[in-house]
Amino acid sequence: MSFRSLAPEITPQMLLRAYTLGIFPMAESAEDEEIFWVEPRERAIFPLDSFHISRSLAKVLRQERFEVSADQDFDAVLELCAAPAPSREKTWINAQIRTLYRALFDLGVAHTIECRRDGRLVGGLYGVALGAAFFGESMFHRERDASKVALAHLVARLRAGGFRLLDTQFMTDHLASLGAREVSREIYRRMLSTAIETPGADFWIWPKGRRLRGTEALAALGAARD
């Protein structure tokens, strides 16, 4: 179960403060006008030093099947994360959440990873970076393996940039298959406090606009294979 309470009209600054306390907003559906604060009793995280790269995913990364970028089209990623898909008939990203996270992007703390094929956006994710913590919000895919590639590139960037925590909120079978694990609320709060207070983490360890190749991501993950 999760702690949940109705959120009043909130500002980007209030949202950032909530993250430092381990709380994040959700809506019942994309059409719902209300937002709730949520704090899961069990929190899903990715240990950054043990992200699981399967042989098939490593092969996809080496093949450069997708063109991977960061922060090139925040609005499109958010729109596709909010859209229904075969595996999810509705999402929790409503209009207010979209407005808030666009404001965080304008402040330079929300980020996207995008995967394209032939110029078409086919996978990606978005989240928020504070201190040495990254809070993953949502991901999508329109082609097989595109969201996995986006996640692998995110983890590679966070590892190289000195991050300490990758929070994914709730556990799913998909995230578990990639090495996510659950920790208690109390353990998460300690991990969060340490990460928020750790200086020097840099999301832009690879400069904005530089295309990171799959082999480079594998090397940063310590998972390069012959």
**What is the per-residue pLDDT across 104-123, written as a single tens digit (0 to 9) for each?**
999 999 999 999 999 999 99
Q: Rounded distance, CA 24 to CA 9, Å?
A: 14
| pLDDT at 85 (0 to 100) | 74
100 assigned to some structural domain: no
The structure tokens listed for 200 are 């020097």
Per the CB < 8 A criterion, the answer to whether 124 and 140 are in contact is yes
SS (H, E, C) the chain: CEEEEEECCCCHHHHHHHHHCCCEEECCCCCCCCEEEEEECEEEEECHHHCCCCHHHHHHHHHCCCEEEECCCHHHHHHHHHCCECCECCCCCCHHHHHHHHHHHHCCCEEEEEEEECCEEEEEEEEEEECCEEEEEEEEECCCCHHHHHHHHHHHHHHHCCCCEEEEECCCHHHHHCCCEEEEHHHHHHHHHHHHHCCCCCCCCCCCCCCCCHHHHHHHCCCCCC
Overall pTM surpassing 0.95 (yes/no): no
| pLDDT at 31 (0 to 100) | 85
Per the CB < 8 A criterion, the answer to whether 126 and 78 are in contact is yes
186 assigned to some structural domain: yes
| pLDDT at 223 (0 to 100) | 59
225 assigned to some structural domain: no
Report the chain's terminal Cα–Cα distance, integer Å.
Answer: 44
The structure tokens listed for 183 are 């920790």
102 assigned to some structural domain: no
**What is the per-residue pLDDT across 125-170, written as a single tens digit (0 to 9) for each?**
999 999 999 999 999 999 999 999 999 999 999 999 999 999 999 9
118 assigned to some structural domain: yes
Per the CB < 8 A criterion, the answer to whether 114 and 69 are in contact is yes
86 assigned to some structural domain: yes
Q: Rounded distance, CA 29 to CA 116, Å?
A: 27
**219 Cβ neighbours under 8 A, 6+ residues apart:** none
| pLDDT at 222 (0 to 100) | 86
Q: Rounded distance, CA 199 to CA 172, Å?
A: 31
Collect the ranges in the chain with pLDDT lower than 70.
1-8, 86-89, 223-226
148 assigned to some structural domain: yes
Q: Rounded distance, CA 12 to CA 204, Å?
A: 22
**Exposure of 161 in the CB half-sphere (CA atoms within 13 A):** 24
71 assigned to some structural domain: yes
How many domains are contained in the chain? 1
Q: Rounded distance, CA 24 to CA 3, Å?
A: 11
The structure tokens listed for 123 are 């996978």
| pLDDT at 225 (0 to 100) | 41
CATH of the domain at 138: 3.40.630.70
User: Which domain range does residue 68 map to?
Assistant: 42-90+109-220
Q: Rounded distance, CA 184 to CA 87, Å?
A: 28
